[in-house]
Amino acid sequence: MSNTNNKSDFIDLGAILNACRKKWYVFVICVFCTVGIAAVYIRKHNPEYMVCANMMITSDKASGGMMEGLSSLFGSGANVDDELFAVSSHSVLRDVVKKLNLNKHHITKTGFLKSRFDYKGFPIDVLYHPALTDTLRTTLVFTVKVNDEGKVNVKMDARGETVVKIKDAKFPVAVKSPFGEFTIVSTPELPTDEATKETIILYGYDKAAEILADDLSIYIPSRRADVIAMNLVSENTSYATDVLNSLIELYNLRSIRMDNNKNQKTLDFLNERLALLTDDLSEVEGNIENLKSKQGIVDLEAEVQYQFVKKGQLESELVAEETKHEILKLIRDFLTDPDNALSLVPAGLVSQSQGDGGGQAINSYNELLLQRMRIASTAQPGNAALKTIDGQLAAMRTNLVTTLSKSLETSQLALNELRGKFGSTNASLGHVPNQERVMRDILRQREIKEQIYIFLLKEREQIAMLLANGNEKGKVIDEAYALTESVGMSKKMIIAIAGFLGVLLALLIIYMQNVLRTKFATKDELSSLTSAPVLGEISLSRSGEVLVVKPKTTSSTAELFRLVRSNLLFILGDPSNKVVLMTSTKSGEGKSFISINIAASLAMLGKKVLLVGLDIRKPRLAEYLNMPPTPGFTTYIAGGSQQGLDKIVHKDALLPGMDIIFAGPVPPNPSELLVSDKVDEFFKTMREHYDYIIIDSAPVGMVSDSLALARVADATVYVCRANYTTKSDIRLFTDLYDNKRLPKVGLVLNGTTAKQGYGYGYGEKD
């Protein structure tokens, strides 16, 4: 089981800051880009201001009138939520668009990346047939350029494609397109001595209403008050002010029109009933005239008054009961008439029927009908709520008709009883002529009809007054007004946020680079990947020489090799530990370069050092040193002659006290050769003649030769290369290290950046 590295269990702030310091240019680029984008945004976007307006939804009850309660459909007695939908309805917004001509947007270029929205006073306009925008379903974009000589270029786009292009024309410019004919004209606002560019966007009324709905904010600020607040954000405050004021105006006109439509139905009903009563009164007057003519009666009223004083009270009761009976018939007829299915029962008739117990039911019916009217004003056809209320209304009408029928039967019984009593009284007055009784009956009928006629006349006048004086449902609290401060952030705040985002972006980029990067570049990064000791790092050198450790050399690279040498001697410890195995994960990490210079640094201590090239599969040590490769180690092992050592050892090849044995020819069986006893005997012999032996072996990630040589070594130097060795290579090394496959291992990082500006290219060789 491998050991885990606990060095990554905490956040190394110093390492993070160091990485950020090294990549300062990333911060500069990111901040420059984000601030640049913010500057472009500030340049392109003009300051915008919020324009607000408030109105109160009020009730408008005509006290004492038969339509009491109807006018509160859009008032405080109504649900303000319903009114909120009514104000923001598509039909109202469409009317606003048509009134203010908002289906055309004029955008005038005023400079580089700078333009303005012109609501009024635009320099160029587009004329077209008025019926076009009622059916237009495609957004049309006209780009008009006028140069300082007055020549006009026009481009018309639709659905992202150019459909018309006109060059070097003069105003007015006729534009014929698949969508109709248009005329581009100039206005008095067009400058005559400078170039002008204007973009005119033409929408259909429905599309423009949808855009306006997205821009508008209409809401109920408080549930404790019947107030609707609205606001619109725009760079042109005149435009926003006109929109809000027109919205309130058109909403009120719409609500008045709806009220008038409902009141007109009641007025028509009253006129119909008055016409019938006029005919009835004419008939009664004719009967009186005929009776007087036939009977020769001159002053019958004075005589009748004298004769019927005693039964006046009974007669009054009969008149009241007959009036009530007639009112009940009127209400029943009103409810059974299909044309009145969605009309309110006149409040005056309801008040006359209160004593009969049906008034409360009729009031409930009227309230439910009012609720239906409120929902119908904003609901779509087939609305489920409307269907439910229609069912309830039908049931209530049936119940009311049944109740009224029973009330009529009861009233008829009362009439019959009063008439019976009245007849008995008349019979007791035998001296009263029969014609007098007939006359009295006719006069009584005339009185009843006259009372009903006068009552209906009063109600008709009240309805006529409501029609003539429709009241606004939305009472203006605040007309549209613009706030003094622009909405959104200030320019300084935008730049500051952009700079902050640039820093965050740089941190994210650096973090993602570290996360996605498969290689490492510094000693600290290497230390964080493994728990094995790091002997040191070797920086690049510009000298281009293989041997950089020389007497009297004080370069940074030479000093780093001396530091590695000191750490290596510390690992070796006992002087009997002489053999150092040099290996790496793969070719190209600079293992041979490190081997040569470590051997040289040990030789500079006055020690007898032997450098042995044992990468026998790919021997390149002689090539690096520009020396003949043969005879070599493989020649000696294969021959087995003790006298052969003199032939393969290159004495003082680079420095005094430093000998070299090259690998020699590549054998046919390198693995078997390295595990032979002759190898052990060779190193036993070499230990007697040298203070230190450096073995330049093969990479462990490619062949097992180095692992086979681990038995003769006392310590191991494992070479890595910055920005070349991968993290997966270190995992392979960590597995070898944790399982103790190599003796006394220390890491050396090759190819790091020199702190004093030295360059170097040999580390690429192995």
Domain boundaries, the chain: 6-48+488-516, 49-256, 258-470, 523-764
d(CA 237, CA 421): 81
d(CA 222, CA 228): 9
The token duo for 435 is: 């014609």
| Non-local CB neighbours of 117 within 8 Å, separated by 6+ positions | 46, 105, 106, 107, 234, 235, 236, 239
For the ranges 253-267, 364-378, 491-505, 539-553, which has the lowest average pLDDT? 253-267
Per-residue pLDDT at 324: 82
Give the DSSP H or E segment for 504: helix 491-516
Give the CA-trace dihedral at 344, 349, 354, 357, to 10 degrees. -60
- 10 versus 203: the higher-pLDDT residue is 203
In this prediction, residues 647-655 reach a mean pLDDT of: 84
Q: Identify the CA nearest to 81 among candidates 211, 261, 218, 258.
A: 218
Contact (CB, 8 A) for 699 and 583: yes
Whether the per-residue pLDDT at 264 is higher than 70: the answer is no
- 758: amino acid identity, one letter: Y
Q: How far is CA 691 from CA 576, 633, 714, 729, in A?
A: 9, 19, 13, 32
In this prediction, residues 410-423 reach a mean pLDDT of: 82
Per-residue pLDDT at 284: 76
For the ranges 262-271, 346-355, 588-597, 599-608, which has the lowest average pLDDT? 346-355
Per-residue pLDDT at 295: 58
Give the confidence band of 217 by pLDDT, cuts at 50, 70, 90. Answer: very high
Task: State which of 261-265, 382-386, 494-498 shows the largest mean pLDDT.
Answer: 494-498
Per-residue pLDDT at 636: 85
Whether the per-residue pLDDT at 598 is higher than 50: the answer is yes
Residue 688's CB is within 10 A of a number of other CB atoms, namely 7
Percentage of the chain exceeding pLDDT 70? 85
- Give the residue ranges of DSSP H helices in 604-724: 621-624, 633-639, 645-648, 670-674, 677-689, 705-709
d(CA 286, CA 190): 81
Whether the per-residue pLDDT at 310 is higher than 80: the answer is no
Contact (CB, 8 A) for 634 and 664: yes
Three-state DSSP state, 628: coil
DSSP state string for 145-174: EE-TT--EEEEEEETTEEEEEEEEE-SSEE
Give the confidence band of 288 by pLDDT, cuts at 50, 70, 90. Answer: confident
Three-state SS for 453-496 is HHHHHHHHHHHHHHHHCCCCCEEEEEEEEEEEEECCCCHHHHHH
Per-residue pLDDT at 292: 67
- 279 versus 577: the higher-pLDDT residue is 577
pTM reported for the whole predicted model: 0.56
Per-residue pLDDT at 246: 93
Per-residue pLDDT at 428: 54
d(CA 527, CA 694): 24
Q: At what angle do helices 237-295 and 90-100 cross, to 10 degrees?
A: 110
Give the confidence band of 635 by pLDDT, cuts at 50, 70, 90. Answer: confident
Whether the per-residue pLDDT at 208 is higher than 90: the answer is yes
In this prediction, residues 707-718 reach a mean pLDDT of: 92
Three-state DSSP state, 279: helix
Per-residue pLDDT at 564: 93
Give the confidence band of 470 by pLDDT, cuts at 50, 70, 90. Answer: low
Whether the per-residue pLDDT at 748 is higher than 50: the answer is yes
- 267: amino acid identity, one letter: L
- 311 versus 171: the higher-pLDDT residue is 171
Give the confidence band of 749 by pLDDT, cuts at 50, 70, 90. Answer: very high
Whether the per-residue pLDDT at 173 is higher than 90: the answer is yes
Per-residue pLDDT at 155: 94
- 483 versus 760: the higher-pLDDT residue is 483
For the ranges 349-358, 455-464, 493-502, which has the lowest average pLDDT? 349-358
Per-residue pLDDT at 75: 39
pLDDT tens-digit series, residues 153-172: 999 999 889 999 999 999 99
Whether the per-residue pLDDT at 306 is higher than 50: the answer is no
Give the confidence band of 619 by pLDDT, cuts at 50, 70, 90. Answer: confident
pLDDT tens-digit series, residues 226-240: 899 999 999 999 999
- 34: amino acid identity, one letter: T
In this prediction, residues 453-465 reach a mean pLDDT of: 77
Contact (CB, 8 A) for 133 and 180: no
Whether the per-residue pLDDT at 303 is higher than 80: the answer is no
d(CA 97, CA 53): 18
Q: How far is CA 748 from CA 429, 536, 549, in A?
A: 144, 5, 16
In this prediction, residues 737-765 reach a mean pLDDT of: 70
Give the helix, strand, coil percentages of the chain, each rounded to 5.
50, 20, 30
For the ranges 272-276, 504-508, 692-696, which has the lowest average pLDDT? 272-276
Whether the per-residue pLDDT at 764 is higher than 50: the answer is no
Residues 324, 266, 375: CA angle, nearest 5 degrees: 115
Three-state DSSP state, 275: helix
Check if CATH label 3.40.50.720 holds for domain 523-764.
no
| DSSP assignment letter at 354 | G
Per-residue pLDDT at 238: 93
Give the confidence band of 61 by pLDDT, cuts at 50, 70, 90. Answer: very low
Contact (CB, 8 A) for 605 and 574: no
Q: At what angle do helices 205-215 and 90-100 cross, to 10 degrees?
A: 110
The token duo for 372 is: 């239906």
Burial of 336-372, coded b for 16+ CB within 10 Å and e otherwise, reads: eeeebeebbbbbbbbbbbeebebbebbbebbeebbbb
Using omega within 30 degrees of 0 as the cis cutoff, is the peptide bond preceding 631 cis? Answer: yes
Per-residue pLDDT at 482: 92
- 522 versus 201: the higher-pLDDT residue is 201
| Non-local CB neighbours of 680 within 8 Å, separated by 6+ positions | 711, 712
pLDDT tens-digit series, residues 67-111: 444 334 333 444 688 888 889 999 999 999 999 999 999 999 988
The backbone torsions φ and ψ at residue 559, rounded to the nearest 5 degrees and listed phi first, read -65, -35
Per-residue pLDDT at 209: 94
Per-residue pLDDT at 408: 84
DSSP state string for 411-432: HHHHHHHHHHHHHHHHHH-TTS
Whether the per-residue pLDDT at 707 is higher than 70: the answer is yes
d(CA 764, CA 746): 21
Average pLDDT, the chain: 82
- 13 versus 658: the higher-pLDDT residue is 658
